Amino acid sequence: MNNICHILQQECVTKEHGLLLKRSGKVFTEYSQSPDILGMKGEPRPEHLYSDPAIIIPLLLCFILFCHALKKAKVSLKQQMSDFIQHKEHNHHYHLSLKPDIRYFTILTGISCVLCGIWFFHYFTSTNIPLSHQVSHEILLSIYTILIALLYCCKYTLYRFINWIFFDKEQNKTWLKGYIFLHAGISIILFPFIITIIFSHLNLNISLLIATVIYICCKILLFYKSFKNFFYNLYGAIHLILYFCALEIVPDFLLWKVMEYINSISNFNFLLH
């Protein structure tokens, strides 16, 4: 009789122990599958431009090409800068022609496009943080750079065509040389600026302010060159303003809107997925 009671007690203990294990396993499974009790959500680490290969590799290539082009076209840059500032109506001292150094000016202009693309990448990914996680950095930087390069080519083509209609050949040639020089020379200013942004964590507001100042200075120089080259007195000021806004300011505004539209499309596609 005692043996029977002892066996029954052992069976009861075994069943209770199995029930406890079953319940504990169920609780553990629910705990592991619950997204709300996995722990505290970690804060994402801030991304740095200097650790992004999509930024550093193009910047390194630009630096190598920049040093090479600057070394080869140094004399022509000085000559072009002198001619740009000290405009002469009949400038016959272009014995240092732009044609032998056009490839270096093209390289510097391409570098300017890439550096501008890096700045736009920095600005848009800082003001729209999810964008940097939705689109590949290489694709995003390539889109910005290609858009800027296309804008430059379209402006150059428009200037060449419209100036060919309204102005003489010598004026058109002088303007195009000045236009190429300015966009090639701006890389000299943009390079230290972009390096400062990448390696010094420059505040976004300060970066925007400096970029705005550089942009305004470039437009003032182009406006000055247009006035000296095409309009000799104040009577043509109204025509110059219309000419300059139509070919220089409006395309820049359209570029900004296109970039914003592309960014909004990226955000919308991400939400759909």
User: Per residue in 206-255, pLDDT tens?
Assistant: 999 999 999 999 999 888 888 777 776 666 667 777 878 888 899 999 99
CA–CA separation, 113 vs 148, rounded Å?
6
Alpha helices in 50-202 (DSSP H): 53-72, 74-85, 102-127, 131-134, 137-166, 169-200
Mean pLDDT over 179-205 rounds to: 90
Question: What is the model's pLDDT at position 31?
Answer: 39
The more confident residue out of 258 and 74 is: 258
Region 130-158: mean pLDDT is 90
Q: Which of 87-91, 126-130, 250-254 has the highest mean pLDDT?
A: 250-254
User: Is 91 inside any structural domain?
Assistant: no
40 occurs within a structural domain: no
Cβ–Cβ < 8 Å for 171, 163:
yes
Q: Is residue 15 part of a domain?
A: no
Query: Which of 60, 63, 148, 72 has the alpha carbon at shortest distance from 105?
Result: 72
107 is written with which tokens? Answer: 């390289």
Residue 44 lies in a domain: no
> Is 107 inside a domain boundary?
yes
Domain span at 165: 58-78+103-272
pTM of full prediction above 0.85: no
Tokens in use for 215? 């942009």
Q: What is the mean pLDDT of residues 133-145?
A: 89
CB 239 within 8 A of CB 98: no
**Whether pLDDT at 257 is above 70:** yes
Residue 11 in any domain: the answer is no
Length of the chain measured in residues: 273
- Confidence check: pLDDT of 99 > 80: no
Stretch among 9-18, 159-168, 183-192 having the lowest mean pLDDT: 9-18
Domain count, the chain: 1
pLDDT digits (tens, 9 = 90+) for 34-43: 444 445 554 4
Say which range, 34-48, 50-64, 141-155, has the weakest mean pLDDT. Answer: 34-48
Q: What is the largest CA-CA distance in the chain?
A: 129
Whether 140 has a pLDDT exceeding 50, the answer reads yes
Q: For the CA atoms of 67, 113, 175, 153, what is the dihedral angle to 10 degrees?
A: 130
